[in-house]
């Protein structure tokens, strides 16, 4: 194996109370954890790291693997970061998630000691009638927001959006949001685990305690403007889903054969959301199937893809 060959990753798992079983039954996640809420596919975060499973570096956590390769493996776009910049998750929301908001870099670094969290969601699948909350239904004042939280009617002033497979939501830091029951999501985000819970339907944890809220911090960071219109996502073999100062995300579809171009600007992460196939490169092949995530170190290169599949391609910016 050469130093910059692609590798496959094994995820870290999370058993949050709202999770289900679909990541195990449909995305081939091998764990006894029940429920299985999240699969951290590409993660160098202290709260759960993915691990290399193929090649000479098999068994190394992602942080150790990158340190072994050297910072150049992240690409020139990542030179401005002093940490691994992205985190990719698969999320199975059997139940409703809490209404929450994430802080900006400036606020999070001051109050939490880590960076903020801008993210995007790609809807992999959903039950009929499933919906989520995305920002506010109209411009809202802090007083209205605070009163709605105190009176347990926050969802009345939020923008409730019915979802369908293939929808995309870009969620800048400060956007109040909540994934609804019956939705399966691929999430690409900044490498942060800071979440301010605003409303939680009065649910209790495994010990019977109400889960803590973070109302004052949420009030400080929330964007109170009406949520923007959602983008129309075209059909196609290579479609841009989201782009911002932190990441670029594309959906790739292959019918028999095709290619993926790697760059020197950023590493490339490929999360397989449908089908199976083989990534072919000079010196080897790497088989993949639905639920797998591949990591390609930064370097100008072209990889052949054989198979019928859909992938989410993510790069740092």
The pair of three-digit structure tokens given for residue 158, joined into one six-digit string: 């939020």
Handedness of CA 53, 59, 65, 69 (dihedral sign): negative
Handedness of CA 267, 16, 111, 99 (dihedral sign): positive
Give 156: exposed, middle or buried? Use CB within 10 Å, 0-12, 13-18, 19+: exposed
φ/ψ (deg, to 5) at 153: -125, 30
H helix intervals, the chain: 22-25, 62-69, 105-111, 142-150, 215-221
Alpha-carbon span 222 to 143, nearest angstrom:
12
Alpha-carbon span 249 to 314, nearest angstrom:
5
The pair of three-digit structure tokens given for residue 7, joined into one six-digit string: 């590798």
Active site annotation includes 197: yes
Q: Which residues, at least 6 apart from 206, have a Cβ–Cβ distance to it below 8 Å?
A: 17
Q: Which of 197, 203, 250, 299 is catalytic?
A: 197
Give the count of beta carbons closer than 10 Å to the beta carbon of residue 134: 23
Alpha-carbon span 271 to 268, nearest angstrom:
10
Distances (CA, A) of 284 to 5, 56, 63: 8, 13, 24
Contact 188, 314 (CB under 8 A): yes
Residues with a known catalytic role: 197
């Amino acid at each position: 194996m050469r130093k910059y060959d692609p590798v496959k990753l094994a995820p870290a798992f999370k058993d949050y109370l709202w999770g289900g079983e679909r990541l195990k039954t449909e995305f081939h996640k091998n764990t006894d954890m029940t429920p299985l809420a999240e699969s951290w596919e590409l993660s160098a975060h202290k709260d759960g790291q993915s691990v290399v499973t193929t090649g000479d570096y098999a068994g190394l956590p992602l942080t150790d693997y990158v340190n072994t390769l050297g910072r150049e493996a992240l690409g020139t776009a990542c030179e401005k970061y002093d940490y691994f910049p992205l985190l990719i998750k698969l999320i199975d929301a059997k139940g409703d998630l809490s209404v929450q908001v994430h802080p900006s870099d400036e606020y999070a670094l001051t109050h939490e000691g880590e960076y903020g969290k801008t993210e995007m969601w790609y809807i992999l699948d959903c039950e009929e009638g499933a919906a989520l909350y995305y920002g506010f239904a109209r411009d809202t004042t802090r007083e209205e927001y605070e009163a709605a939280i105190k009176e347990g009617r926050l969802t009345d002033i939020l923008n409730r959006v019915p979802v369908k497979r293939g929808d995309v939501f870009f969620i800048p830091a400060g956007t109040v949001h909540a994934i609804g029951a019956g939705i399966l999501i691929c999430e690409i985000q900044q490498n942060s685990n800071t979440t301010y819970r605003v409303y939680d339907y009065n649910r209790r944890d495994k010990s019977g305690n109400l889960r803590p809220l973070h109302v004052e911090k949420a009030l400080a960071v929330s964007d109170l403007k009406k949520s923007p219109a959602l983008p129309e996502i075209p059909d196609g073999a290579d479609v841009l889903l989201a782009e911002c100062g932190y990441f670029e995300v594309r959906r790739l579809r292959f019918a028999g054969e095709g290619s993926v171009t790697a760059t020197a600007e950023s590493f490339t992460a490929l999360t397989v959301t449908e089908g199976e196939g083989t990534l072919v490169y000079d010196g080897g092949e790497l088989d993949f199937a639905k639920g797998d995530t591949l990591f390609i170190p930064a370097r100008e290169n072209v990889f052949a893809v054989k198979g019928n599949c859909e992938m989410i391609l993510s790069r740092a910016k």
